[in-house]
A and B are shown apart, each in its own frame.
Chain A
Amino acid sequence: AQSVTQPDIHITVSEGASLELRCNYSYGATPYLFWYVQSPGQGLQLLLKYFSGDTLVQGIKGFEAEFKRSQSSFNLRKPSVHWSDAAEYFCAVGASISGYSTLTFGKGTMLLVSP
């Protein structure tokens, strides 16, 4: 069974500083990987996805993520954080056999942005 680990429960970053959120997955086959963001009281918004091909994927709002098979990681990055980026971020893996309609999520990382 697949699993996702997000080691950091909370991260505080100064506005304008760079950001990296860590995600490690466990899956026996080729994973399909996603990053979602959730603002308080809201649903999840897809930031980016990795299915195959180029291991560096670009997403919305200036985010990018790099798939590293050797490290089973899919870390999310942003070069300069804005106060509006404060939210909870979820990494998820979809099963490539049964399709992407079943996602396994990590516990999430809460991003706090300080002035």
Chain B
Amino acid sequence: KAGVTQTPRYLIKTRGQQVTLSCSPISGHRSVSWYQQTPGQGLQFLFEYFSETQRNKGNFPGRFSGRQFSNSRSEMNVSTLELGDSALYLCASSFGRDEQYFGPGTRLTVT
């Protein structure tokens, strides 16, 4: 069974731009969660989607948003990028209330 895939793997953007990251979960997994990983703050939960509905949300500004499609694929969007948004963005999928399986991440650099 294929694992969680994330695209793109690397991204360079300029301050003020917006970005969309994509995540394809493991087949059959309906829950998708997003995390931000930075050297200073570590791993922080962004939001979780289940059956196209946002079920949980972390403490991030409204510039961070996401959605989930009927095939469970998910996207997250960051608008008006700031330098501090540079991070590794990790997506994880799970089957119901099971452990999470992580993708390789998208490395976002904001210049």
Contact = CB atoms under 8 A, between A and B. Distances in A.
A43 B31 contact: no
Describe B's contact surface by its main secondary structure: strand
B102 A108 contact: no
Interface in A88-115: 90, 92, 98-108
- Which secondary structure dominates chain A's binding surface? strand
B18 interface: no
Interface string B21-45: 0000000000101010000001101
How many A residues are at the interface, by size bracket?
20 to 34
Nearest to A36: B102
Q: Enumerate the 9 nearest inter-chain pairs by beta-carbon distance, A residue then B residue, closest first.
A: A43-B102, A105-B43, A44-B102, A99-B97, A43-B104, A107-B42, A101-B48, A102-B56, A101-B31
Interface of A: 34, 36, 41-46, 49, 90, 92, 98-108
